[in-house]
Amino acid sequence: MDLKVIEQKQLVERYLVGRLSPPEAKFFEKMVRESPDLAERMGLPETLKRTMRLLDETGTEWREQTPRIWHRWWFGAAIGAVAVICLILAISQWSGKRAALEHLDKVQSEALRGLLLPPTRTVPMPLAVARPNETPHTYPIGNRAQPTLADLALDVSFVNDDLYRVTIKRDDGTLWARFDNQIRDSNKTLRLGVNSAAFSAGTYEVTIEGLDRHGGSFPAGHLRLRVDAF
């Protein structure tokens, strides 16, 4: 193929802008490789420069471009990871809302019925009170699952005073209740009514103090109570 035919068919320009068919482009490249002097004679370097300048002037991007971030392999993986995290957070939030609603329903139902469960039975309990220097006996008064109204009759006949203070503490020292200015009845017993649902499961120390007319107190006796969970 001579230069005149190459110029007539504008092979160089068509090759540079990608308008040759695959067979024509393959033949043209083979011809240039086998005849380097032919490339010089047909002005391939100058044509290349002129074509690149023309592409620049028309705004056509011909240089190799850096791949866009969304074309990179790790971008899709990152998007997938974010989607999984969002899904987990959504599930957690939904579970948290469900638990909160269930707790709210429970609190509302407890508010309607009161903080304490009503006793299912009333049991009179005459209890012996140990003197301050004696080891007290432990008395079960009921459980929390089926609360009992324990009608306690504390025998303090061995004490001369009529006015008392009764303090109930859990074994860990937590103050649970205190009854001031309690008067014993004609049978020389202190009467106290307690709901077993008012106590957490455990053992409690009941301390009885006598009160004099001047506001002073002295140990009068003690006993222990036990509340079961079931």
pLDDT of residue 66: 58
CA-wise closest residue to 182 among 172, 194, 174: 194
pLDDT of residue 99: 72
DSSP run (H or E) holding 208 = strand 202-211
pTM listed for this prediction = 0.50
Contacts with 155 (C-beta within 8 Å, 6 or more apart), sequence order: 126, 127, 128, 129, 188, 189
pLDDT digits (tens, 9 = 90+) for 57-99: 555 554 555 556 555 666 667 777 777 787 777 777 776 667 7
Contacts with 216 (C-beta within 8 Å, 6 or more apart), sequence order: none
pLDDT of residue 62: 44
